[in-house]
Chains A and B, each alone.
Chain A
Amino acid sequence: DVVMTQTPPSLSVAIGQSVSISCKSSQSLVYSDGKTYLHWLLQSPGRSPKRLIYQVSNLGSGVPDRFSGTGSQKDFTLKISRVEAEDLGVYYCAQTTHFPLTFGSGTKLEIK
């Protein structure tokens, strides 16, 4: 199975600051079609997960452009610019290139 390693496990930031979350995979996530199926999800407290970014850098519907995703092959980053209170929760990366599909262990974002 592809192991997804997220860092840091948690972070605390003030409103208006920027943060980055890292996700590294144990194998390249480039599929045979040339696309990279790495996605980012946010689970707000008490809610179901929501997909924020798909295929490395594409924003999901209604996701503010404060969120951005970058990376390639095995190394990916989610950046949140100008953090807002509603951004708190647990962020997960997930890969859908290889079966079985796998998730990172999550990064908990708290607001100072």
Chain B
Amino acid sequence: EVQLVESGGGLVQPGASLKLSCVASGFTFSDYWMSWVRQTPGKTMEWIGDIKYDGSYTNYAPSLKNRFTISRDNAKSTLYLQMSNVRSEDTATYYCTRDTMGVPFAYWGQGTLVTVSS
């Protein structure tokens, strides 16, 4: 069974940095592209970016590219999202997702909530 478990969320102050993790199990992690998607408190869904199965290539939403970095450790079956200089508008639930046959969003984790507030 495919499982994606995010962690690392919490309350963070504006301007700080935060690193989220997503541990995968039930499949060969190194075979799949992975993505991060966030959902705001108002339920708006926003794609953050994705990373190739071997970690050699990433894509980002232009609005987040300068502050967010996606990486992965295939030996640990773990996906990461490094967030820097966070702002109140980054408050959201962050999901990692896995593709199937090259099509994103086939599987989702349970999400981790990030709240940016002083």
Contacts and interface: CB of A to CB of B under 8 A. Distances in A.
Interface of A: 37, 39, 41, 48-51, 54-55, 60, 90, 92, 94, 96, 99-103, 105-106
| A-B interface, 7 closest residue pairs, ranked by CB to CB distance from nearest | A103-B45, A101-B47, A100-B61, A48-B108, A51-B105, A54-B103, A96-B104
Interface of B: 35, 43-47, 59-62, 95, 100, 103-111
A50 B106 CA distance: 7
B43 A51 contact: no
A105 B45 CA distance: 7
Nearest to A104: B45
B64 to A, nearest CB: 9
Mostly helix, strand, loop or mixed at chain B's interface?
strand
A96 B106 CA distance: 12
Contacts, number: 46
A101 B99 CA distance: 13
Nearest to B43: A106
A25 to B, nearest CB: 15
A103 B97 CA distance: 14
B106 A102 contact: no
A19 B43 CA distance: 22
A37 B103 contact: yes
Contacts of B107: 51
Contact of B47 (A39, A49, A100, A106): A100
A48 B111 contact: yes
Contacts of B35: 101
A74 B46 CA distance: 20
B59 A94 contact: no
